[in-house]
Amino acid sequence: MLMELNKILILMGEAKMKSNIEGLIITLLIILFAVGQVLNS
């Protein structure tokens, strides 16, 4: 679980560095995926 969160944080960091709409969409998708993983586990 910690490894997954670490990957998510890295991906979110990359998305924020782009700082555009595409980056925001990627970040939202990652957050939704993370929430889904937490609810499924």
* Length of the chain, in residues: 41
Domain boundaries, the chain: 2-40
Quote the tokens at residue 41. Answer: 């586990």
Predicted local distance difference test score (pLDDT) of residue 4: 83
Tell me the pTM: 0.48
Predicted local distance difference test score (pLDDT) of residue 22: 77
Quote the tokens at residue 36. Answer: 């889904």
CA distance 32 to 37: 9
Predicted local distance difference test score (pLDDT) of residue 16: 66
Predicted local distance difference test score (pLDDT) of residue 7: 85
DSSP 8-class letter at 6:
H
CA distance 1 to 34: 10
Predicted local distance difference test score (pLDDT) of residue 32: 92
Tens-digit pLDDT profile for residues 1-41: 678 878 877 877 776 666 677 777 888 898 999 899 889 87
